[in-house]
Structure 1
Amino acid sequence: MDYILYLRVSTQRQGLSGLGLEGQRLIAHRSLQPGDRILAEYIEVESGRKNNRPEMAKVIVQTRGLGATLLVAEMSRLARSVYFTSKLMEEKVRFKACDIPNADEFTINILAAVAQKAAKDISESTKRGLSAKKARGFTLGQPQNFTAASRALGRAMVRLNAQEAVPNKQARRLASLLRRDGMTLAAIAQELNEHGYRTSRGRTFRKSTVHRLLLPNPAAGE
């Protein structure tokens, strides 16, 4: 099968550094079957919630012209918008996400809806929390306003955010693929380090941190 690879990063810094791009590229290439080809690659620097994507427009034109399939490493790289994914399907654009390669249209729409709602809920919850604090006379950002419980919650959120951060999710995905290929933990650590991945604490990966990364509820390697 012929593919057009679409890579997306959310910030210009990620695009320039290559962190995130290389992980997406590796995952995509490792998903290929014998005879599959990637004919072209496009890189978009854009928020996942925006529907105006110039590079994606080029991808759609080229997939149609070549009879190819749009390929993304993860569904989240395609969109967190029901409107966007629905429009792709309405326009009969074939696409495949490596993390859910066999998903049908119904499943894809459900996943997009869940991701869209989660992004909206997080944004609204943050705004409400800050407004409530301000109304009670707190000066936002001052350390003395944090209780022991809020500090503990903050540490827990840091761990959760580390698990959900795009580079860490890509590192887990890549490590899982390499492990299925029979690669040792030490070899996986070397592969991750060579491609610029670091643990949630900014350290290089070792056998022990790769092992934790592959657990069902990892702390992003720590």
Structure 2
Amino acid sequence: MSTPAEQSPTSRRSNAPRDLDMASLKALAHPLRVKILNTLSQFGPQTACSLGELLDESSGSTSYHLRQLAKHRLVEEIEGKGTTRERWWQRTPGGINIPSSRSFSSPDMVEAVRLIDRNYAAYRSELLAEFTRYGDDVLDLDWAQASSSGTATLPMNSTQLADYVEKINEYSRTLLDQIKAVGELEGQRAVQIHINAFPILDPRLDAFPEPAEVPTNPTEEQS
């Protein structure tokens, strides 16, 4: 699975997505670090203090995780802005590709990639749920009419799906580059685009893992 990460809304450099190495994947495999990257994408550059307020975390915690992300070029300090006591951070321009967990044989790496995927999926689901619940109440009509949430379900084989995903991604990159080239415009706000394409699991065809047994407490059995 490839997970292209969003770019900072203040960044206009066009950088090709980079594949994360094992060290970077391990560094990103932390729920708060994924939240930090997503928050910088959504709200633009932040300080450790402002991130703490947005994420309900201490500034000491966000400062530590920002430094760890910076070691792997996932975030960067904005030069010339802020002070030594109040540093401003942004997403490093360019997307990132998260490889499939099946690319690794190490159980630790498999779990790291799966954790990153779960955290990104949870964040996307949270944003979509907020939009569907509150969007009509807080957004102007033009934003509501411009938004879309659609689903298409049809039979494909894996070759067709791969071809579809490749063409969608190529067209999406072209459109995004055109939008970025325009620069800042009045009325802009962070917009997140979800293009999900995946095979639907079928319990009639797919062998789901058996749920782990929960050990019983001998003391409870005797009571």
Please classify the TM superposition score into its range, dividing by the shorter chain length: under 0.3
Bigger Rg, which one: 2
TM-score normalised by structure 2 residue count:
0.27
TM-score normalised by structure 1 residue count:
0.27
Higher relative contact order by CA 8 Å / sep ≥ 6: 1 or 2? 2
